[in-house]
Structure 1
């Protein structure tokens, strides 16, 4: 048994087999940039939808990854996700979204597992500096996948004394705050 590495996936033979694949996603920034980067490295294409109000500089940053078509829509985030999912179904593209719903759990789970690698790498770097664990974490809320994954990793790793954690989000898109304030279990 031999594991396939990311370097293996970048071979000309594999790129030739993957060239017609299109990844599609909705994002307000970093997730879409990561999808565009991976698609470019694999020789694929990506289509990225951004919700209304997205910053043009973020769209340009995604486009700069190459092989990517980026559209700032007039849709809110949830509707941009639905548009990406609909086009994936219609055109046979691969939806790569970190938001899960019934029937679409595998890829979001893989993405969430990937976010734990960031936590491990951060801890490894702290350890190299002689720091055993962080005292505090500040995590961006986003759709919650990254924050939940990193926090879960840290709590599992330091279950007796986890770092004090603050989830942050801009006041202009304070979804977690509004959800907590509504106190309606949604």
Structure 2
């Protein structure tokens, strides 16, 4: 539909997935089932893959395109409370690098590993989750959650010609969070 409406597909932003506890079970590794792991991969990795392969033929034919995947800091470091989610987001990061190597030079593919974001979808973080980013001496150098607008700015930049020499990269946009 996009191609027939606009005649081109220049940019794809894959904001797919779900947080642990909403779409699939979170918890210690030994409490997860095989189905929990499969669902985390289906929601976070397989959907991103399906959307990407759907637009690549058009982007390659037109000689240009940019795919930006959204991952999470959970995919950059082990997370004992969400191992299935973290593994799936690590898969998004790795798959992004494979896509960049396979689909260049016409298609650039990058990924953003986001930290905690205050969104309308999740307007109230639990006190312990919010404290992980906002309490003095915590893991976030900026001491706050990010905003959707801040992450949108990173996406717009990666999609632009200003980032034309960047592909296969994972950009951390997490307020300086260290796990």
Q: TM-score range by the shorter chain?
A: under 0.3
TM-score, reference length from structure 1: 0.27
Q: Which has the higher contact order (CA 8 A, sep 6+)?
A: 2
TM-score, reference length from structure 2: 0.27
